Chain A
């Protein structure tokens, strides 16, 4: 599903370059649950943004679903990621002025889904995650865990093949964090959604099927499946 080859990312600093990512080669199969780990500044988020096509590398090639991402026009790239990729953020990034229902609906608006269909899809999701009662509340009226749940539902609404999560439990307490991780695991196993998460926590990383360790912009080693 994801094939990264020789990905470099650097910033010019004076005469030299500061490397954020160096020679990243990474293949992720459909259906995988990958955790990217590493200390602060190791390039985890940059890597995630490159996978999510929000950021471009300085060098390297990227194939997503057998298509070469950097050979296509920006318009197609946006089409590609808005159809197949959902984002979950550490600080949820819900739109404050929109209700839960409207927040979840927004990606569908950008994909030109018809009104009736949109309604059905959102209601479906609200049912499934059991938050029908909260659909008219605004983000500020929800707890952190609930906000992140809405964030995940928003990422899922367009039935993406890939979910990218940047420290999804970073702002949550442990109980809320556990619920979210269980949800990811369930989505991965039952819905066959590919998940790539960035995390600091060994415990959260253990939910995944594979761990990628980054240090100073390089992949350290790729251990085999942690648990079967």
Chain B
């Protein structure tokens, strides 16, 4: 019986190839989107699950109140560790202090590489359940030890056994390799931890950390914990809530510190906090994409239903014959369901092929490393369920509808599709076009917003600007020689050092006071430590006053205690506005008792997000604080390749122990758009797919209507209608549908896009032409799709269409 069903289904597919292609292709694309999004969601939800103790690991965090606002942060004071260990120790299996992830130089003999890693306490490997290739989890017990990821071990030691070998970190810390672990997968918080070394070692090399031992005000450290199995995050959080507040100085009690645990399962998807409350984060994208995937699949299924039922008149006679020769209704239903099953299976095979071929592209788009889980039995089980549900979903309506035909009427030829048979199809087309138009608007606005921010004046010249981070003491010591060597060789026009990169603010300070200060304003500024030539190197624009110069003694040294001389500073425009100064130049301001004199004002430099306003910033000259980055303005007459080769040679000669590791300011700046560009690309992909699927729906409706009106078209032709008359008559209905969609889509799109843009301080206005453009393109697409069917019907020979009656 089923064999016969499949035979007839197959022959039907073969007979009308165009229709089958549209039907299977449309469904396959819907499924491919659903599969891709499913894989993406699975990947997002399995973030951090690599760690066996996923369910019991948490990060200690704190909240503090200030001016009625509660802020939340992960950086904590060092004494909190002892407080937790001594008073609440029995709640924890592990308490692990960690320093921030950072870039460090690892060297073995002449081999030097730059690698990211962390300095953590000895419990880390066990807590994080690192998969050890060599050595044990106890590898960090000795302070002079390092554990390497397999890739770093390979890079440093090649095929030799790295165990118990000596090596150096940042050219100053001697350590012994005590373990090699499997590289952490890309979807964990610790993915960039390519080596782990000892917290105690790092502290021994950083006096300020030792000094922070009992400073409750120095929030510079990270604490990870694993709780005991018999307890919960909530109860432990409750216990440790006051552990900081009880210990801070009386004057700091007003900040109402609260300590709490943030479970590992929430790190990735729920990372945003507002006023002390978690407000989600990536989970919103998971929901949004999940909805889009479901929606695309649903649209594809409904299209399938519509195309099948639109052809029902062709199948009606077969149903009549089958009923007359004894088919029960359930047998017809199962026949049509097995047909849809066949189509769905074919579509699924096609979808898997589409997914397999587009996966690398999708990974690039979404910044993932998803693979097809072909060996995973759950994938196949889910796929099977998915196929069955889709076949039922897409096949049930045609099956029930077609099998309900009355055989006598069908065979007599008096069977007519009802007056309202096209209503569900019309609703569907409206729905699909609503989504398409909204997505077209979305894509245009996202792109324009990105473009808007890209065109924003950044206040300095990004071109041929190289940034090198100072990681090793050799580099810091030799920076003056490097500076002159670079300039003498002609490769650099200017060289300057700074405490922050051009694409970030690494230092903020409070305690500033100025004449006529509004008491409600906080005296907090971004403080950028620089050397004299910084302005010339980055090409900033002085608006008022002068640049720093070595000619002025007051420019040369940073603020020092008990000084009576006011040292020179330069402010950006935002700072002047913030302070409300009318004549800023030569104004004396105060920083915790040190006098500072404003000598110049520069145009705002965009160092942080190009979508947010620039912060009030103070630039100060101080050669020992400006020790994090070397900024090099390359000679514009040299190509990047030539310049890099020369700079590399100079570095090799002067600081052979330091790997030449550089960043271009313009590429670094470009990275700030990555997240927005990803949204933009995904939105445009979804828009194209939505339009495509909508066109299928439209095509189905158009062919249905054209077929239904064959007789009417024939009569009109006999009466003298031209092809143009008929085309207009058939197309105008669809234009009306699309206009209805526009009326729904435009306000919806406006609402959501307006909300999205609120995230950005530096943003475009939504202009009306965007909606006009979206509507016009939707109309154009509609007319193109419908015209095919309309003109085909209009050109048909009326004698033939009338004879079919």
Residues in A lying within 8 Å of B, measured CB to CB: 45, 49, 52, 54-55, 75, 78, 81-82, 86-87, 89, 93-98, 102, 105-107, 109-112, 154-155, 158
Contact = CB atoms under 8 A, between A and B. Distances in A.
Contact of B325 (A45, A82, A112): A82
A42 to B, nearest CB: 15
10 contacts: A54-B323, A78-B326, A82-B325, A89-B411, A94-B321, A97-B318, A98-B7, A98-B11, A110-B325, A110-B328
A31 B319 CA distance: 31
A49 B412 CA distance: 11
B551 to A, nearest CB: 96
B8 interface: yes
Contact of B1 (A55, A109, A155): A109
B168 to A, nearest CB: 78
B717 interface: no
Nearest to A86: B325
Task: Classify the interface of chain B: helix, strand, loop or mixed.
Answer: helix
Given A93-B317, A106-B325, A107-B325, A45 B4 contact: no
Most chain B C-beta atoms within 10 Å of own C-beta, residue among A81, A97, A111, A155: A97
A201 to B, nearest CB: 20
B336 to A, nearest CB: 14
Please give me the 5 A-B residue pairs with the lowest Cβ-Cβ distance, nearest first: A82-B326, A97-B11, A110-B326, A93-B321, A107-B325
Given A49-B408, A54-B407, A93-B317, A102 B7 contact: yes
Contacts of A87: 324-325
A106 B322 contact: yes
Nearest to A151: B321
Interface in B396-415: 407-408, 411-412
Contacts of B327: 110
A221 B322 CA distance: 35
B308 to A, nearest CB: 15
Interface residues of B, number: 23
B521 interface: no
A154 B325 CA distance: 9
Nearest to B14: A97
Given A107-B325, A111-B326, A45 B7 contact: no
Contacts of A112: 1
Contacts of B321: 93-95
Contacts of A82: 325-326
A95 B322 CA distance: 9
B320 interface: yes
Contacts of B419: none
Contacts of A98: 7-8, 11
A154 B317 CA distance: 16
Given A87-B325, A95-B8, A106-B322, 19 more contacts: A45-B412, A49-B408, A55-B408, A81-B326, A87-B324, A89-B324, A93-B317, A93-B411, A95-B318, A95-B321, A95-B322, A97-B11, A98-B7, A102-B4, A106-B325, A109-B1, A110-B328, A111-B326, A158-B326
B12 interface: yes
Contacts of A49: 408
A110 to B, nearest CB: 4
Nearest to A95: B318
Interface of B: 1, 4, 7-8, 11-12, 15, 317-318, 320-328, 331, 407-408, 411-412
A109 B331 CA distance: 10
Nearest to B407: A54
Contact of A110 (B15, B331, B407): B331
A45 B320 CA distance: 15
A97 B12 contact: yes
B730 to A, nearest CB: 28
B326 A97 contact: no
A78 B412 CA distance: 20
A93 B324 CA distance: 10
Contacts of A102: 4, 7
A165 B767 CA distance: 71
A111 B4 CA distance: 14
B326 to A, nearest CB: 3
Contacts of A106: 4, 322, 325
B4 A109 contact: yes
Contact of B328 (A55, A78, A155): A78
Given A93-B411, A98-B8, A54 B324 contact: yes
A81 B8 CA distance: 25
A75 B326 CA distance: 11
Contacts of A81: 326
Contacts of A155: 325
B15 to A, nearest CB: 7
A78 B323 CA distance: 9
Contacts of A110: 322, 325-328, 331
A54 B8 CA distance: 24
A107 B323 CA distance: 10
A97 B8 contact: yes
B577 to A, nearest CB: 78
Contacts of B408: 49, 54-55
Nearest to B326: A82
Most chain B C-beta atoms within 10 Å of own C-beta, residue among A75, A94, A109: A109
